[in-house]
A and B are shown apart, each in its own frame.
Chain A
Amino acid sequence: SAVISQKPSRDICQRGTSLTIQCQVDSQVTMMFWYRQQPGQSLTLIATANQGSEATYESGFVIDKFPISRPNLTFSTLTVSNMSPEDSSIYLCSVPYGGLGYTFGSGTRLTVV
């Protein structure tokens, strides 16, 4: 299966600032997915990131708030912009796992104060 390195693992940020989360995959993948998991809740898909094209955002998520970059087939970033305490969550990236579902990063635990 693909191995994902996600950074940072956690951060505490001031409101109004931005945080960029990185995901590095050890193999080339066409699609990467970004999720948010609020405390005690299930995962919510933020967007799908394809290399060489704009990310596709799910309802309730906009590019100005969660800009995504996908410069190549092994790397992607998600930025959480102009943060507020409501953005405190775990953010995860995932990639397809060879026809057997998806592999997930270990997550970034974000606390906004």
Chain B
Amino acid sequence: LAKTTQPISMDSYEGQEVNITCSHNNIATNDYITWYQQFPSQGPRFIIQGYKTKVTNEVASLFIPADRKSSTLSLPRVSLSDTAVYYCLVGDNTGGFKTIFGAGTRLFVKA
């Protein structure tokens, strides 16, 4: 399982775009990159998943360079409710393999 490295914490203000970068130098050919969001007293929630280039959904965008050794989660125009911990995970997406969480990034959005 590829190890991931993220910033421990980030601060932002409402309305700004937030970019959280994750390093995964040992990513395997079959691995996907998945980001989760976790609020206090809740389980992690799937945000977005990608394999290469760019993926966008209604919540976020995920940018993956050609070498796939890193990825960037982009949250457009954050609000106070986006204050949470964000986890980057790398692994097979078939559901047949365990998922190992790194430390995550604590995002604080200020008014």
Is the Cβ of B43 less than 8 Å from the Cβ of A42?
Answer: no
Find residues 82-99 in chain A having any chain B CB closer than 8 Å to their own CB. Answer: 90, 92, 94-99
B28 at the interface (CB under 8 A from A): no
Of the candidate stretches A11-19, A73-81, A104-112, the one touching chain B is: A104-112
Question: Least Cβ distance of A106 to chain B in Å?
Answer: 6
Interface 1/0 per residue, B74-89 and A, CB below 8 Å: 0000000000000101
* A-B pairs with beta carbons under 8 A, tally: 63
Q: Which residues of B contact A100 (CB under 8 A)?
A: 34, 46, 49, 93
- Looking at the complex, which one of A31, A90, A105, A109 makes contact with B95 (CB distance below 8 Å)? A31
Q: Which residue of A lies closest to B102 (CB)?
A: A42
Q: Which residue of A lies closest to B46 (CB)?
A: A101
- Looking at the complex, which one of A58, A96, A104 makes contact with B94 (CB distance below 8 Å)? A96
Q: How far is the CA of A43 from the CA of B102 in the complex (A)?
A: 8
Q: Which residues of B contact A97 (CB under 8 A)?
A: 46, 95
Q: How far is the CA of A70 from the CA of B36 in the complex (A)?
A: 26
Is the Cβ of B41 less than 8 Å from the Cβ of A103?
Answer: no
Chain A to chain B contacts (Cβ below 8 Å), 26 pairs: A30-B95, A30-B96, A31-B96, A33-B99, A35-B101, A42-B87, A43-B44, A43-B87, A43-B101, A45-B100, A96-B94, A96-B95, A97-B46, A97-B95, A100-B34, A101-B34, A101-B46, A101-B89, A101-B93, A102-B95, A103-B46, A104-B45, A106-B42, A107-B42, A107-B43, A109-B41
A-binding residues in B (CB < 8 A): 34, 36, 41-46, 49, 87, 89, 93-96, 98-104
Q: Which residues of B contact A51 (CB under 8 A)?
A: none
A48 at the interface (CB under 8 A from B): yes
Q: Which residues of B contact A45 (CB under 8 A)?
A: 98-101
- Besides A33-B98, A42-B104, A96-B96, 4 other A-B contacts (C-beta < 8 A): A45-B100, A48-B98, A95-B95, A97-B46
Q: Which residues of B contact A103 (CB under 8 A)?
A: 46
